[in-house]
Copies of this chain bind each other. A is one copy, B any other.
């Protein structure tokens, strides 16, 4: 029998994995929300529940942090990573809420592409979290998230040019821009998560 000298620390990996899986659920709800014929109010409600679950997961991580003497990596990075995962969720939930609140009928095609980028980023993040344990293959994740963020950026710029081409009325432009900005914010927030993971890996290197 081997003694476990740092008995509790492993739970952080599982907690971050659970938080990231929650982002996958949220991103898939966003895909649903923007599909034709979707019951948008019901899906936005599910996303709100997802966000509450995320808040509780974040608080659980903070609580565990206060109880744990030896952490697997810097306390500050655990704190930051939890906060940044929370930021992704907040932007996704707000985008969904605004679509419903503004009663937006039709979303431009670029929004579908934005949401696909988010779904892929969420999946990559969820796959990367368990790799924090070994600190291996995190570089690939970081490179891929950066690539996705660049792609999201191109989609975003083309969407802005599309919005401003004169085919929408002004209020619709403004409403759509709020939604599109939140989705772009979520893509950026995924990059912040990846940057923190990279910082952790750099410190451990």
Contacts and interface: CB of A to CB of B under 8 A. Distances in A.
Given A76-B203, A79-B198, 6 more contacts: A65-B202, A75-B202, A79-B202, A98-B157, A164-B171, A164-B174
Interface string A156-179: 011011001010001101110110
Interface range for A: 20 to 34
Contact of A157 (B97, B157, B174, B203): B97
Contact of A94 (B94, B157, B177): B157
Contacts of A161: 101-102
A178 B202 contact: no
A171 B164 CA distance: 6
Most B CB within 10 A of own CB, among A153, A161, A173, A203: A161
A6 interface: no
A96 to B, nearest CB: 11
Given A94-B157, A195-B83, A66 B102 contact: no
A132 interface: no
A153 B51 CA distance: 14
Interface in A170-200: 170-171, 173-175, 177-178, 195, 198-199
B164 A202 contact: no
A199 B66 contact: no
Nearest to A154: B97
A164 B175 contact: yes
A160 B98 contact: yes
A186 to B, nearest CB: 15
